[in-house]
Amino acid sequence: MVKFGTSRRLKRSDVYTYLMEIFIVIFGITAAYQLNIYYEDQKDLKLEKAAIERVADENENNMNVFVDLIENRLKLEEDTRQLARLLFAGEDLEVDSIARYLFDINQTHKPITQMEALNFYLNSNYTNKNGDLKSELIRLKASYLELKDVIDYYVRMKEKYYSDFLVSDVDFGEERIISLDKIRSVEFKNLVVNLLANELELNSLFDRVYNQSITLDEIIQEKLE
């Protein structure tokens, strides 16, 4: 005779089975989740490494640009210094003694730097393992922009105050001095002194940016090892 209102009592072995099944399900979900994270991290690491390699190539190209300009930049600074010395020497100026310096310092030497790979990496969000690299890239980018602004301003000032000042006394196209009147003036002497100050400031900035590029290259090499 069956009694109503009773329930089947679970055996201890059944409880263990249920718990084991729950554990297996939870473990499987957790393992799958961790594996997914691992594979995503590996994919991000590969993408980030490729981006860093592009930054390395770009930085090397920029460093080569700076190296190629060093000789011309230093010569421009020295020519400006020599012209200033001649102007302030108190002696009678001769066309032959100042012509070379006068036409040489009318040139401008500015780098054409690339920042595409740098900007791409800074805008990426692969991992949080290379914070020091991103910080260095931010510093270098700020220096690149500062250098560009200084050069653009310097070129405008040289065109406005140097070339325009001498336009009636000097034929820059044929590199021929027509008259020494304006060249002997106090205004021109002061102008050349200002040009020398600008050259010194610009070369100092060149050195700082180039040294930052070297530091960046060292950091990159450590990351890629």
Please give the mean pLDDT across all residues of the chain.
84
Q: Which one has a higher pLDDT value, 109 or 42? A: 109
Q: In the chain, where are the structural domains located?
A: 12-224
* Res 220: pLDDT: 94
The structure's pTM equals 0.76
* Res 62: pLDDT: 95
> What pLDDT, in 10s, does the model give residues 49-87?
999 999 999 999 999 999 999 999 999 999 999 999 999
Distances (CA, A) of 165 to 89, 106, 176, 189, 213: 21, 12, 15, 12, 38
pLDDT band at 2 (very low <50, low <70, confident <90, very high): very low
Q: What percent of the chain has pLDDT over 90?
A: 42
